[in-house]
Amino acid sequence: MKKRKSLQISLFFILFALSFLLMVQPAKAWNIHPLFMHPVLFSMPEVKNSKPVTAKSLKTFLTEEEQGLVKLLIQEEEWAQNNLEWYMPRPDTQVFKATGDGGDIVQRFVQAIRINPDFRIQLYLQLLPGDDRKGRSPISKNEITFLKEEDLEYLNSTTFVALKEGEDVTPLEVVVSATDEPDLGIDVGLYSDNSTRFGKTYGFGTQAFGNPNLDYGSQAPFHMGFYHESKILYAFAGFLKETYPEYRIHLFKTLAEFAFRRGQDYWGWRFMGWGLHYLGDLSQPYHTTVFPGTSTTKVLWINVLAMAGFPGAKNDAVQILSNRHIVLERFQQEIFQRAYRQSSPSFPIFKILKSPANIPAYKDSFPREKLARKSNAMAAELNDIITNSAPHKFISDPKFEFGKYKEAGQIIENIKKSKGQEGVDSLVRMIGEAMKPLTVYGRSYVLDILKPGETTAKQ
Ligand SMILES: [Zn+2]
């Protein structure tokens, strides 16, 4: 009898988890990371004044550094196993071994760091609005990423240019461009239930939350960090802790430091940019908070109702959450792109991002304890501001799907029409507030990678 009861309880928790996991709606955190990382990195003399570096393909870099990378990746795996509570160890089949075979070296490396092998690690730059191409040839976004057109529509006005192996390029250009790469497919399809040929061998198990059947859905646990939710939510949905941004942040920092130590500065800056992406994601309240502005009791209740055969409240809540998240992203993208096109140095968020700050020595706990803690703490307030600033239809109508809205690209005008300039200004204030910790801890991450003795980077 007792056994049957405990089985029933376990079954309840499993069904609850299955029902709950799709409530987490991933998107891209902030859209187009270079838009806000450029001002932060431009204001750092250690980055801005560094001498040009020589572009080098990943294959050449790996071929030159194969032996050293073997040891480095073993140490990195040990660090991850010892420091990350939910880390799923890398299977022995994925270990990077020095074989001297240049034919499959990129594939062997990609498998060892467990990123999507279809992600095209090309020599290229992603430019900012108004950037000079400097005679470089433009390339299509489809040459950079395998993601589907419907997931890339937000990049339609972004220019990509090709770099040639051996070409000089500034560190600022390399690192800024690289901050967007993790949203271009690196973490897509890595789980065993993602129907990819590699997901079954990578050892991450089944996807903890998010939609395993959608590209952006499958990258969710790598770009979100729910470290500061309530104990009761974890009791029901412990899988929310199974996230990987800290793994990526540490891995790419380790690779960047290694590259600089070896005089491979181009790859030092590029790996640094990859790591900075995840710090940026954790500064976004929707990436550190499951349901901003909704009490835990309500979240649990609507999930129980859905399990009992009444999914209406849950579906509505998920649609509204998704709409608010996308409204915030689209607004952030548009307001930044407009500021670049109008070259407005007075744009308040530029001022925040460029402001000097006291930079503490970097610690591995910063992503969780500084960035995610702050963004989680401001999630409810942000939710209020979005609710009060955007047109009612966008953020409170569950029948409306903002992602499919034809005029999604005119969100500033829509907000202005509906709530006036004050609606726009309050959202700008809130985004600036959310990005403040990134100016401190992002710089701290960069300086730690560049610290004397760790790098041969010359200024
Ligand atoms: Zn991301």
Per residue in 393-431, pLDDT (tens digit) is 777 777 777 666 666 668 898 899 888 999 999 999 999
- Domain span holding position 261: 16-450
458 pLDDT tier (thresholds 50, 70, 90): very low
**Residues 370-399: tens digit of each pLDDT:** 999 999 999 999 999 998 888 887 777 777
Residue 453 pLDDT > 60, yes or no? no
Q: Of the ranges 144-153, 233-242, 248-257, which one carries the lowest mean pLDDT score?
A: 233-242
Tell me what pLDDT residue 339 has: 94
Tell me what pLDDT residue 459 has: 39
- How many domains is the chain built from? 1
The answer to the question of residue 68 being in a domain is yes
pTM: 0.92
The answer to the question of residue 441 being in a domain is yes
Match 């690690």 to its residue by tokens. 121
The answer to the question of residue 218 being in a domain is yes
Give the whole-angstrom CA distance, residue 236 versus residue 160: 44
Tell me what pLDDT residue 16 has: 66
Tell me what pLDDT residue 163 has: 98
Give the whole-angstrom CA distance, residue 257 versus residue 265: 9
Share of the chain above pLDDT 70, in %: 90
Residue 93 Cα to ligand 1 midpoint, Å, equals 27
What Cα–Cα distance (Å) separates residue 143 from each residue in 32, 139, 181?
17, 7, 13
Residue 277 Cα to ligand 1 midpoint, Å, equals 6
The answer to the question of residue 458 being in a domain is no
For residues 87 and 314, the model is more confident at 87
The answer to the question of residue 190 being in a domain is yes
24 pLDDT tier (thresholds 50, 70, 90): low
The answer to the question of residue 27 being in a domain is yes
Q: Give mean pLDDT, residues 282-310.
A: 81
Residue 73 pLDDT > 70, yes or no? yes
Residue 242 Cα to ligand 1 midpoint, Å, equals 16
For residues 457 and 37, the model is more confident at 37
Closest by CA position to 240, among listed 182, 316, 303:
303
Residue 283 Cα to ligand 1 midpoint, Å, equals 11
The answer to the question of residue 455 being in a domain is no
Per-chain residues with Cβ under 5 A from ion ligand 1:
29, 183, 223, 281
Residue 459 Cα to ligand 1 midpoint, Å, equals 30
Q: Which residues of 47-73 are buried (b: 16+ CB within 10 A; e: fewer)?
A: beebeebebbbbebbbeebbeebeebb
Residue 327 Cα to ligand 1 midpoint, Å, equals 16
**Residues 317-336: tens digit of each pLDDT:** 777 778 888 888 889 999 99
Share of the chain above pLDDT 90, in %: 64
The answer to the question of residue 6 being in a domain is no
Closest by CA position to 261, among listed 109, 126, 65, 127:
65
